[in-house]
Amino acid sequence: ITFGFFETQLGVVMLAATPRGLCALSLCGQSPTPDILAGRVAELHQRYPQASFDEEPADLQAYADQLVAFLEARADSFRPQVDILEGTTFQREVWATLQTIKPGETLSYTELAARVGRPRAVRAVASACAQNMLAIAIPCHRVVHQDGSLAGYRWGVEWKRRLLDLEAQLVRRA
């Protein structure tokens, strides 16, 4: 797995990929401390203990360029080739369905459960969202409570709000 850190409009992100595609996109913050960056790398090692790792940002530049183009509204979406290295069949179904939600749109956890054909599996849908290692690429930030309120996001509700606000601005500019 190759990984690297990149500056974006959202702050620093860590991208990680195999030869088949992006396998992690982690939000690190505007001015992350060395401890935060090391923590993101440690999480990657913990998640994929059998993998070898190389910090080679140049190998990931195309993914970073795609992300920046999306964040600057020069691209309609951010849909990189992904390599989901783990996950149950149900999680993969949830993640695939998440990728069909367009920027600027939201869906409730209940609606998402119905879309994957398991209307009673709302908690399992929320759990699948929490296990998503590909922030923005698999847009779990677009899932909200039934009443539209924000809750539950791997990177924190403030990040969820920022991403949704950014996407709303991008859609208005388009």
Report the alpha-carbon distance of residue 162 to residue 117 in Å, rounded: 30
- For the record, the structure tokens of 168 come out as 């709303």
Whether 52 contacts 1, CB under 8 Å:
yes
Q: Tell me if residue 23 is catalytic.
A: no
**Residue 110's CB: how many other CB atoms inside 10 A?**
16
Among residues 23, 28, 129, 140, the one annotated as catalytic is: 140
Q: b or e along 125-156 (b: 16 or more beta carbons within 10 Å of the residue's beta carbon)? A: bbebbebbbbbbbbbbbbbbeeeeeeebbbbe
Using the Cα atoms of residue 133, residue 135, residue 137 and residue 139 in order, give the sign of their dihedral: positive
β-strands 2-8, 54-55: how paired?
parallel
- For the record, the structure tokens of 80 come out as 């990189």
Report the alpha-carbon distance of residue 26 to residue 90 in Å, rounded: 22
> Which residue numbers are catalytic?
140
